[in-house]
Chain A
Amino acid sequence: EAQVTQNPRYLITVTGKKLTVTCSQNMNHEYMSWYRQDPGLGLRQIYYSMNVEVTDKGDVPEGYKVSRKEKRNFPLILESPSPNQTSLYFCASSLNLQETQYFGPGTRLLVL
């Protein structure tokens, strides 16, 4: 089944404790992206990747890191999480920007 998977789905952590949210797709997609969703603010892009080893900042990259060492994986790293990073995070992938974006199920993060 074609899909985008994210892990974990739910995470509670404390300020400053490094964490990684994994994202994997099995559709051989070139483009992958991370978004955060907060009430009233819609989907805001954190980072995106047009292909392996190519990553670029989105609109809200501060406090996040990503890597794209393999085509299928695009992990999101929070080196030192803070409470303002409490949010719902979505990973998405597509062949390119003019094709369907497939979203993962979301990761709900709470930083205490």
Chain B
Amino acid sequence: QQPVQSPQAVILREGEDAVINCSSSKALYSVHWYRQKHGEAPIFLMILLKGGEQKGHDKISASFNEKKQQSSLYLTASQLSYSGTYFCGTEFWDSGGSNYKLTFGKGTLLTVNP
């Protein structure tokens, strides 16, 4: 039930752009994006809600295609501080448990070099 993220890893030079994709086999109600520095807890970036509302970061953007059950995170003009592992989390209805669930992908390691 984990969403699938791609690519698994990406290396950039400062100032370059990157796109990280997240796809699910489930109908989604929201998609979360988090960044984790090595040895630290994940930190919230943004949430995209079904219906188009977006909450989050002003320097990083994202899209949410509900029909395709996919989301993409766009990092433009990358900075050294963008380095880390990016996780998407997907909210879906779990019919087995009769509950909404939030599960995270395996992550995308982003390295920004000077």
Contact = CB atoms under 8 A, between A and B. Distances in A.
Given A50-B99, A97-B30, A106 B41 contact: yes
A105 B34 CA distance: 15
Interface residues of A, number: 25
A103 B41 contact: yes
B29 interface: yes
A99 interface: yes
Contacts, number: 64
Interface residues of B, number: 26
B13 interface: no
Interface in A59-112: 59, 90, 97-106
Task: State the majority secondary structure of interface residues on B.
Answer: strand
Contact of A42 (B40, B100, B102, B105): B105
A17 to B, nearest CB: 26
B49 interface: yes
B106 A90 contact: no
Interface of B: 1-2, 29-30, 32, 34, 40-44, 47, 49, 87, 89, 91, 97, 99-107
Identify the 3 closest CB pairs spanning chains A and B, nearest first.
A42-B106, A103-B41, A43-B104
